[in-house]
Amino acid sequence: MSRKHPYIGLPDRQFWKKDPGIERPRQFDPVPDAPYRLSRDAKVVTAGSCFAQHLARVLNDSGYNHYIAEPAHPIVQKPVAKANNYGLFSARYGNLYTTRQLKQLIQRAYGDFEPIDQAWPGRDGVSVVDPFRPQIQPGGYASEAELAADRVQHLAAVRDALESADVFVFTLGLTECWADRRDGAVYPLAPGVAGGTYDPEIYEFRNFDETETYADLKEALDMIREKNPDVKFILTVSPVPLNATMEDRHVFVSTTWSKAVLRIAAEKAARTVEDCLYFPSFEIITSPHTRGRYYAEDRREVTEQGVRHVMSMFFRHFTNDTAGIPGLARQQAADRPAPAPARQDEHARAMEDYMQVLCDEEAISNS
């Protein structure tokens, strides 16, 4: 006898009202099991938006191998190295917000693209900054020669990271960017925000659609695979809303458009690129199941509680253990809201982590 309709017998996870996360938010788990498990010595290379730094930090804290191809000099003390943005990502590339930015970084690393802009004047009028990493060096570089020397080392580290990776994790963050009209080079920040001089004759605003975003992502992953045939890819979408938009509309409307584009691109890549998976960190943070509690008071930054939920799901489905996640026992505590003072204490602790995240986009303001 045939079923009454095709939905009969499908798993509970495919039905909204049967999700346990409705009653207990921390049980919300939209992650499918990965076809492999990460060992603790597997080299995990991270890149992408601000949110990717949280993923890298928890991997480090949990004893997994967040591969650092561009470390600070051994004599540099850890606080100094951290202040100079070493160890945030696998190489010192700062935020790679768009898929075009990722693609062009790979092209630059292998000598396939030499942008016209090589240095921008710093905001202090004395130093120079890297147009493609405008805030990576606090205070900028003393000279263009110093910047050029650092860039040589940096691009060598990028090659090392891409060729050494067992797993490459990329967090898609934005679709909006600024580009050079002359050669198409894209930047993480508009000229004039953290260095450089804005000239509308040279620089233009771009907002990539789903076709462009996917094409750039596919090309970037193909280039990495060409250099590293055995690499596996994990794609995520940042749940952090846009800080600002150049589109003439509310920033939240631009946020939803941008995240939809990124989600489509990531899904298409997961379906068309071999050994490429989508990890739903965006869905975990933004889901109605979590009742907005994973956003800080500014309704933009992700709380440490949210990061731990995301990473507990990552460890559950991508590794053989969950014991290595710092604070996991606290994360699995009862779902009842904490008293107001405890929330304030948690927010204060979380803000300490926010201060440790490099987010170029935060530099944008209208004043």
pLDDT tens for each residue of 248-293: 999 999 999 999 999 999 999 999 999 999 999 999 999 999 999 9
Provide mean pLDDT across the span 12-19: 96
Confidence of residue 73 (pLDDT cuts 50, 70, 90): very high
Instruction: Look at 51-55, 125-129, 140-144, 268-272 and tell me which has the smallest mean pLDDT.
Output: 51-55
User: Does pLDDT of 308 surpass 90?
Assistant: yes
What pLDDT, on a 0 to 100 scale, did the predictor assign at position 342?
44
Confidence of residue 353 (pLDDT cuts 50, 70, 90): very low
* Rounded (5°) CA angle 92-60-361: 45
The mean pLDDT of the chain is 90
% of the chain with per-residue pLDDT over 70: 89
Helices (H) and strands (E) in the chain, counts: 10, 9
What pLDDT, on a 0 to 100 scale, did the predictor assign at position 343?
44
pLDDT tens-digit readout, 155-188: 999 999 999 999 999 999 999 999 999 999 999 9
Provide mean pLDDT across the span 229-247: 97
User: Does pLDDT of 55 surpass 90?
Assistant: no
Provide mean pLDDT across the span 113-131: 97
What pLDDT, on a 0 to 100 scale, did the predictor assign at position 367?
67
Confidence of residue 50 (pLDDT cuts 50, 70, 90): confident
Provide mean pLDDT across the span 21-40: 94
Domain boundaries, the chain: 32-361
Three-class secondary structure of residue 232 per DSSP: strand
Structure tokens at 284: 């975990």
Provide mean pLDDT across the span 36-64: 91
% of the chain with per-residue pLDDT over 90: 82
What pLDDT, on a 0 to 100 scale, did the predictor assign at position 323?
53
What does R_g of the chain's alpha carbons equal in angstroms? 21
Q: Which long-range contacts (CB under 8 A, 24 or more apart) does 33-38 make?
A: 33/317, 34/277, 34/317, 34/318, 35/277, 36/232, 36/318, 37/318, 37/319, 37/320, 38/64, 38/166, 38/167, 38/318, 38/319
